[in-house]
Amino acid sequence: MRAKAALLQASLLMCGLLVGCQKQAVQTSQTQASQTQNSQTQTSQTRNVPSGDGRTLRIFMWSDYIDPQIVKDFEKARGVRVVIDTYESNEAMLAKLQGGGSSYDLATPSNYFIQTMLRAKLLQPLKTELLPNFKNVAAGFVNPGYDPGNMYTVPYQYAATGLAYNAARYVPASQSWSLIFGPADTLKFVLLDDPREVIGAALKYLGYSVNSASVPQLRAARDLLRKVVAKRGFLGFDGGPGTRNRLLAGDIDLGQIYVGDLLQGAAENPKLRVFLPREGTTISTDTLVLLAASPNPALAREFIDTVLEPKVSAAISNYTSYGNPNAAARRYLAPLLRDNPAFNPSQADLKSGRVELIEELPPGKPPRLFDRVWSELKSR
Ligand code: SPD
């Protein structure tokens, strides 16, 4: 009973720390977009919202991010078709949506992209009064700093970012970013294809906030990363599932990865391990949003409300191994996920900022510097 109460308390605290407490500033620039992968479905998108047939729902989401059975059940229950295209980064998602040429109903951006998408007029109000299951969202995820009043988002899943290895190939001697950011060049490794994660990890390693807007601190992170990407052992940038597959194949010693993507693979191979480096790391919440160009907003809301059902929400997290922001779903979550410290960072780590929520950067010079640093690293 006491253990249960402690778990609940920890979850509530984590929830509170995961929504951010400040109103989000407006970001004026975007990191350079990478190419969207795995996109198979494209239809024409015009400035006028196309009207759909109400029978096909198109979702643009992070890869490996939903239990396919949930999708099949929804299709069967509603007599509709669900088409899912995937992306590996917020930047790729934004670039595709801004470029037009698609008619998605829903997407799953991270918390720190919401204000950017709003400014780009990509979102429409969700109207939570039309979502009876919104009541299941854990209190700490309601009315978040990145979307006051949950006008445009419901929380979908969350995860911290860690360093992963395949213990059958290599076991690190420490749990530190210095394994890849230090001077040694003996390990093969990849970094996430995600500017906020890569620059954020460097900032953390240097003792700064992942949300630092200090030009000298960002320059220090840039100088460090220049050396890191010049190492012989650096094998490039990759998405979460790509990194997991490279670890499974034994191609790399270490990979920066969203914890959920690694834990998904650990079910297949228990030698896959992940840790949160001692210098600190990032955490972020992905959301479900209704796109302004949605041809089928009614069907899209039905899907969102289904995802908010306790058993459905838990089934998704049990499949993906990502954190779950649905209070009513907790009792259905796999105990293994609830107990993994990399999955559930401790209260102390969240409070101290060792595990820090990525927030949108304030407008102006630092985001532009951020963009330049990322462009340079990618074009090395
Ligand atoms: N395969 C699912 C990946 C989900 C990643 N979450 C976003 C983290 C953004 N920093």
- How does DSSP assign 186-211, residue by residue? ---EEEES-HHHHHHHHHHHTT--TT
pLDDT digits (tens, 9 = 90+) for 183-228: 999 999 999 999 999 999 999 999 999 999 999 999 999 999 999 9
Residue 240 CA to residue 110 CA, distance in Å, equals 15
DSSP label of 251:
-
271 with 171: CB under 8 angstroms?
no
DSSP label of 226:
H
Closest atom of ligand 1 to 194 CA is 10
Q: Residue 53 C-alpha to ligand 1 middle, in angstroms?
A: 31
Residue 124 CA to residue 356 CA, distance in Å, equals 29
Q: Is 108 in the pocket of ligand 1 (CB under 6 A)?
A: no
pLDDT at 50: 59
89 with 243: CB under 8 angstroms?
no
pLDDT at 51: 67
278 with 207: CB under 8 angstroms?
no
Collapsing DSSP to helix, strand or coil, 42 comes out as coil
Catalogue all structural domains in the chain, each as residue range(s) with its CATH number: 18-158+285-345 (3.40.190.10), 161-282+360-372 (3.40.190.10)
Q: Is 91 in the pocket of ligand 1 (CB under 6 A)?
A: no
Best of 110, 199, 359 to mutate for ligand 1, by most ligand atoms within 8 A of CB? Answer: 110
Residue 23 CA to residue 328 CA, distance in Å, equals 27
Q: Residue 273 C-alpha to ligand 1 middle, in angstroms?
A: 18
CA dihedral 85, 90, 93, 95 (to 10 degrees): -160
Q: How many residues does the chain have?
A: 380
Closest atom of ligand 1 to 197 CA is 10
- Of the listed ranges 11-15, 189-193, 259-263, the one predicted with least confidence: 11-15
Which residue type sits at 132? Answer: P
* β pairing state of 281-290 and 355-357: parallel
Closest CA to 14 of 338, 340, 351: 351
Q: Is residue 173 scored above 70 in pLDDT? A: yes
Q: Residue 42 C-alpha to ligand 1 middle, in angstroms?
A: 23
Residue 314 CA to residue 328 CA, distance in Å, equals 9
pLDDT digits (tens, 9 = 90+) for 42-101: 333 333 555 677 799 999 999 999 999 999 999 999 999 999 999 999 999 999 999 986
Q: Is 284 in the pocket of ligand 1 (CB under 6 A)?
A: yes
Q: Which residue is associated with the tokens 């003792």? A: 207
* β pairing state of 272-275 and 254-258: unpaired
pLDDT band for 380, please (50, 70, 90 cuts): confident
Nearest CA to ligand 1 atom 6: 286
Residue 203 CA to residue 199 CA, distance in Å, equals 6
Q: Is 261 in the pocket of ligand 1 (CB under 6 A)?
A: yes
Q: Is residue 23 scored above 50 in pLDDT? A: no
237 with 189: CB under 8 angstroms?
no
Neighbouring-strand partners of residue 238: 192
Q: Is residue 122 scored above 80 in pLDDT? A: yes
User: Which structure tokens are listed for 226?
Assistant: 């220049």
Closest atom of ligand 1 to 90 CA is 9
User: Which structure tokens are listed for 221?
Assistant: 């992170």
Q: Is 258 in the pocket of ligand 1 (CB under 6 A)?
A: yes
Closest atom of ligand 1 to 196 CA is 10
Contacts of 178 (CB under 8 A, 6+ apart): 205, 279
Task: Give me the mean pLDDT over the 103-120 stretch.
Answer: 96
Closest atom of ligand 1 to 62 CA is 2
Region label for 54, one of left (φ > 0), alpha (ψ between -120 and 50) or beta (otherwise): left
Q: Is 157 in the pocket of ligand 1 (CB under 6 A)?
A: no
Helix (H) or strand (E) holding 83, with range, is strand 81-87
Which residue type sits at 81? Answer: R
Nearest CA to ligand 1 atom 4: 62
pLDDT band for 339, please (50, 70, 90 cuts): low
Residue 283 CA to residue 345 CA, distance in Å, equals 9
Closest CA to 360 of 196, 222, 217, 198: 196
Residue 281 CA to residue 220 CA, distance in Å, equals 17
Q: Is 238 in the pocket of ligand 1 (CB under 6 A)?
A: no
Provide the mean pLDDT of the chain: 86
| Helix residue ranges, H only, the chain | 2-18, 68-78, 90-99, 114-119, 178-181, 195-205, 215-229, 240-248, 259-266, 297-307, 310-320, 335-339, 347-352, 365-378
User: Which structure tokens are listed for 103?
Assistant: 């008619």
Q: Is 253 in the pocket of ligand 1 (CB under 6 A)?
A: no
Q: Is residue 121 scored above 60 in pLDDT? A: yes
Which residue type sits at 188? Answer: K
Q: Is 240 in the pocket of ligand 1 (CB under 6 A)?
A: yes
Q: Is 176 in the pocket of ligand 1 (CB under 6 A)?
A: no
Q: Residue 285 C-alpha to ligand 1 middle, in angstroms?
A: 8
User: Which structure tokens are listed for 41?
Assistant: 């479905």
Best of 60, 286, 288 to mutate for ligand 1, by most ligand atoms within 8 A of CB? Answer: 286
Region label for 64, one of left (φ > 0), alpha (ψ between -120 and 50) or beta (otherwise): left
Best of 237, 258, 358 to mutate for ligand 1, by most ligand atoms within 8 A of CB? Answer: 258
Q: Residue 258 C-alpha to ligand 1 middle, in angstroms?
A: 6
